[in-house]
Amino acid sequence: MNEIIVPQLAESVTEGTVAEWLKKPGDIINKGDIVVELETDKVNVELNSDYSGVLKEVLKQSGDTVKVGEVIAVIANEAEELAEPAPKKKDAEGNSSYESEIDQGSPTQGQQRPLAFPSARKHAREKGIDLNAIPSSDPLGRVRKKDVDSYEATRQSGEKKQLEVEDIKNVTQNNTREAKRQTEGKWHQSDLNNERIERIKMSRRRQTIAKRLVEAQQTAAMLTTYNEVDMTEVMKLRNRRKDKFYEQHGVKLGFMSLFTKAVVVTLKQFPLLNAEIQEDEIILKKFYDIGVAVSTDEGLVVPVVREADRLSFAEIEKEISDLAMKARDNKLKLGDLQGGTFTITNGGVYGSLWSTPILNSPQVGILGMHKIQKRPVAIDDDKQENRPMMYIALSYDHRIIDGKEAVSFLEKVKQLLEDPEDLFLG
């Protein structure tokens, strides 16, 4: 027998959720076949089999939480699967000995041996519980480890937690009346049992996003400063060069590469925004791995453009395009998401005019782009023009970055984008 074990998924990732079994018990498996897909905090991970054989047993079902190092399935080689069961040894009294296979005590005469997973048998044996007494939640009637735990919890609670049927009815009726009274008709207890509401379990990724967004605001002293950029020159430059750029590089010239280049140049001038805090130390990073926020069906992910300071505009555009496609196809690897030093997010693609980006911990800075919209701008004392304007926002950790530095950072980004020729040629 060989086991499928949850591998080390990534640094700081200790557990995941079984998303989907791609093989079912009884299927023949070849070495290298994808057997199961796990959902982690950041991406989905496909587990390949290190063995050939037959999938003997699945120990965790879709939706179950699994930890690194945990056995989630058993693979038998075909010889083991086809072999007849070995005769059971007899003890001195003539009783069959099932060793590790059987629960505490042997079945009595005429009593069928209960179906159970090996992990459940072992668990029940350790707790001194008779498997015959445990109700199964498995569609095939097999007792699972969680069934043992559930039975034990019920047994321990005992009669002191049980109420007479009439008492339960009375309590339920009283609670229902009180709930209706307190909500003043805003919603009804009966809604819980009909189609007027729907309860949906959050995916692991959504749970993690929610947790980290709250942690970021509770941990960092987050502030946001705003400015606006006249996008006239950037748009002119892009329109002049886009056709030739595409012919030469096979990728479109977008705004993200221009913003990425502007951010990298500015980070070199303001290094604290390319840092992180570790206890009582500031870690200054001399490399520029820029995270680019991408929206997916399951939430926002932030793949990283590595060594952005060393990449050309075309290389940045290609990398962003590839990462965005991977994100939307759910093919990002954990390595694509780790180690960013600063993040850029663009709510403008969805029409956002103004927003406050939240820090991507442990980073201390994030730049928010927004929708380009024509607005009247004073050119001089006597002249106004409608210009394509974009609000930009910088959220930063005030624990190590002062307001003056944050405002100056954003002003520098603005200047580079409003006069982009040197930035582009450089």
Please give the pLDDT value at position 227.
97
Class of domain 205-425: alpha beta
Question: What integer pLDDT is reported at residue 98 of this predicted model?
Answer: 37
- Predicted pLDDT of residue 166: 53
**Amino acid at residue number 135:** P
Tokens at 181, concatenated: 């009274």
Per-residue model confidence as pLDDT tens digits over 112-137 = 566 777 677 777 877 788 878 888 77
Domain spanning 2-155 has what CATH number? Answer: 2.40.50.100
Which residues fall within 8 angstroms of residue 74, CB to CB, at 6 or more apart?
1, 2, 3, 4, 55, 56, 57, 59, 118
Residue-level pLDDT at 95: 45
Classify residue 15 as exposed, middle or buried by CB count within 10 Å of its CB (0-12, 13-18, 19+).
Answer: middle
CA dist 336 and 265 (Å) reads 23
- Residue 234 half-sphere exposure, CB side, CA atoms within 13 Å? 24
Q: Give the burial string for 262-299 (b: 16+ CB within 10 Å, else e).
A: bbbbbbeebebbbbbbeeeeeeebeebbbbbbbbeebe
Q: Of the listed 138, 149, 309, 398, which one is catalytic?
A: 398
Domain-wise residue ranges, the chain: 2-155, 163-199, 205-425
How far is residue 263's CA from residue 276's CA, in Å, rounded to a whole number?
A: 17
Secondary structure class of 223 (helix, strand, coil): strand
pLDDT of residue 68: 86
Active site residue 402: yes
How many CB atoms are located within 10 Å of the residue 384 CB? 10
Residue 167 catalytic? no
* 426 residues of the chain, pLDDT tens digit each: 888 898 877 555 778 888 889 888 888 889 888 899 888 766 778 888 888 889 988 999 888 888 888 999 999 876 555 454 444 444 444 444 433 343 433 444 444 566 777 677 777 877 788 878 888 776 667 787 788 888 888 776 664 455 454 555 555 555 655 555 555 445 555 555 667 788 888 877 778 778 878 887 788 899 999 999 999 999 999 999 889 999 999 999 999 999 999 999 999 999 999 999 998 999 999 999 999 998 887 778 889 999 999 999 999 999 999 999 988 888 888 788 888 999 999 998 888 999 999 998 899 999 999 999 999 999 888 899 999 999 999 999 999 999 999 999 999 999 999 998 877 665
Q: How far apart are CA 144 and CA 131, in angstroms?
A: 10
Provide the strand spans (E) within 64-103. Answer: 65-67, 71-76
Length of the chain: 426
- Which residue out of 130, 167, 191, 402 is catalytically annotated? 402
